[in-house]
Amino acid sequence: MTARLIDGNALAREVRAEVAGRTAALRTRGVNPHLAIVLVGDNPASQVYVRHKMADSEATGLAATLHRLPSDTPEPALLGLIARLNADPTVHGVLVQLPLPDGLDARAVISAIDPRKDVDGFHVANAGALATGLPGFRPCTPWGCLRMLDAIGLALRGLQAVVIGRSNIVGKPMALMLLERHATVTICHSATADLAALTRQADVLVAAVGRRHLVTADMVKPGAVVIDVGMNRVPDGEPGAGRLCGDVDFEAVRDVAGWITPVPGGVGPMTRAMLLANTIEAAERQTA
């Protein structure tokens, strides 16, 4: 079997078109949907991510403002900026790019964002809403993965789902979203004994670890849906050195799986698109 590809680029285009339509509709009511992005310090990867977020916003008609602060910004100054953004009715989404420089407590900073503007979905109020089945903002990466599963028409009820990784931003919320859809969910992590025995039972397998070739063909149930969240680089000295790759041995696993997401062109573009979806949602809720 050769797996069918779940095309994250194509699906992200659909999401962006929806967001653009909703943005235009809000504009006709005099609302200018607006995302504020806070970047502290000069982490090169963060600068790239923030550039993408600004460009994506502008391309879909959302206003985006970047607030750049030096890496030695004292925490009270950062919290003060967040308080001003929270109080500003023209700002609908507030995002603080992580990681923060040493000396700043990410938990305290994320907790300071008004949950109604927390478009990353990282605030404990939004994490708790997901855990208890209440509406709220869902973290963009697993939210995008769920959208991919919906796009292929997969009925999750009763399926075995295995999530590898238990981070607060990917693995845990992914597991909760699958549970909410009535899948039977297993969460695997660095202390899991016999990972392969568990993954081989998965109808849906989500890999969110950050380790190239973690998932090999013998770990995948024939016909399974495989979602590869991992972002790694092919090491020097190997063909394609420096290129982006996931956690899944794509070439081998595509012969076993039923559906698979590529890297690049899979979860990454969906993560970016779901931030826009959360931002327009925030603007709609705040101006309803």
Q: Give residues in contact with ligand NAD (CB under 6 A).
A: 141, 164-167, 169-171, 188-190, 192, 195, 208-211, 229-232, 267-268, 271
In whole angstroms, give the CA distance from residue 118 to residue 151.
25
In whole angstroms, give the CA distance from residue 281 to residue 1.
39
CB of 189 to ligand NAD, least distance (A): 3
Q: Closer CB to ligand NAD, residue 73 or residue 141?
A: 141
Among this protein's residues, is 172 annotated catalytic? no
Q: Closer CB to ligand NAD, residue 3 or residue 145?
A: 145
In whole angstroms, give the CA distance from residue 117 to residue 139.
13
Burial class (CB in 10 A: 0-12, 13-18, 19+), 64: buried
CB of 267 to ligand NAD, least distance (A): 4
Q: Closer CB to ligand NAD, residue 216 or residue 232?
A: 232
Q: Are 145 and 286 a contacting pair, CB within 8 Å? A: no
Catalytic residue among 53, 117, 172, 221: 53
The three-state secondary structure class of 127 is helix
Half-sphere exposure of 203 (CA within 13 A, CB side): 13
Long-range contacts of residues 181-185, Cβ cutoff 8 Å, at least 24 apart: 181/146, 181/156, 181/157, 182/156, 182/157, 182/158, 183/156, 183/157, 183/158, 183/159, 184/158, 184/159, 184/160, 185/161
Catalytic residue among 56, 117, 118, 120: 120
CB of 77 to ligand NAD, least distance (A): 27
CB of 81 to ligand NAD, least distance (A): 25
Q: Are 232 and 210 a contacting pair, CB within 8 Å? A: yes
Q: Closer CB to ligand NAD, residue 164 or residue 257?
A: 164
CB of 79 to ligand NAD, least distance (A): 24
**DSSP secondary structure string for all residues of 137-171:** PPPHHHHHHHHHHHHTT---TT-EEEEE---TTTH
Q: Closer CB to ligand NAD, residue 208 or residue 257?
A: 208
CB of 258 to ligand NAD, least distance (A): 21
Q: Closer CB to ligand NAD, residue 161 or residue 169?
A: 169
Catalytic residue among 97, 117, 221, 228: 97
Q: How far lies 108's CA from each of 16, 101, 124, 216, 252, in Å?
A: 31, 13, 11, 39, 43
Half-sphere exposure of 258 (CA within 13 A, CB side): 13
Positions marked catalytic: 53, 97, 120
